[in-house]
A and B are shown apart, each in its own frame.
Chain A
């Protein structure tokens, strides 16, 4: 069973640029969630994708967008990067079946630095 993978592991961008982060979900999972973790804080929910559609969004502006592909992998896109976007971006996959129990399995994260 392959775990959640993310690429790249580290990235440095300049303010105003755009970035795309990628995530491959764990085998058998159909839902992907993205989180932002600033230094010294807990992860903050950005949004979730299920069946290729956004299924919930946290308090993040529209310049944060995402995609989920038929193979359940996902991308997180951030436009017009700001210095405060510097953070660890975490992807988590899970299996949604309509029940009440679900565990999310996290990837190692992508460390984004905006200068």
Chain B
């Protein structure tokens, strides 16, 4: 899997947008960027994925830079339930294995 780099922790005020960055400078042209999160003591939860275009779903938006070397996950109106570890993953093409790094521990502050 392409190596990803994320800040170890971030805080965000409740109701504000949470912007979580990820660097993946070794990404190949056909590899997708995936985001998962893990709330304490639960299984990881799929959030969103993208290739080169920006993506949005009911949970979040994913902004991928034009050179695809970095991306940002945006939670538009963070709530306390969004407190979790967020993982940015770039699986090797053709390989469904997910390699979880250390992720970003996001804390939403009331």
Contacts and interface: CB of A to CB of B under 8 A. Distances in A.
B19 to A, nearest CB: 21
B49 A56 contact: no
Contacts of A108: 42-43
A100 B30 contact: yes
B8 interface: no
B99 interface: yes
Nearest to B46: A103
Interface stretch (B58-66, B73-81, B88-96): B88-96
Contacts of A35: 98, 100
Nearest to A96: B96
Interface residues of A, number: 26
B100 to A, nearest CB: 3
Contacts, number: 57
Given A43-B44, A90-B43, A103-B46, A48 B32 contact: no
Contacts of B102: 42
A45 to B, nearest CB: 5
Interface in A83-115: 90, 92, 94, 96, 100-109
A25 interface: no
A58 interface: yes
B87 A42 contact: yes
Interface string A16-49: 0000000000000001010100000011110010
Interface of B: 30, 32, 34, 42-46, 49, 85, 87, 93-103
25 contacts: A33-B98, A35-B98, A35-B100, A42-B102, A43-B98, A43-B100, A45-B97, A45-B98, A45-B99, A48-B97, A55-B96, A56-B95, A90-B43, A92-B44, A92-B98, A96-B96, A101-B32, A103-B34, A104-B46, A106-B45, A106-B46, A107-B43, A108-B42, A108-B43, A109-B42
Closest 4 CB pairs of A and B: A42-B100, A106-B43, A103-B46, A45-B97
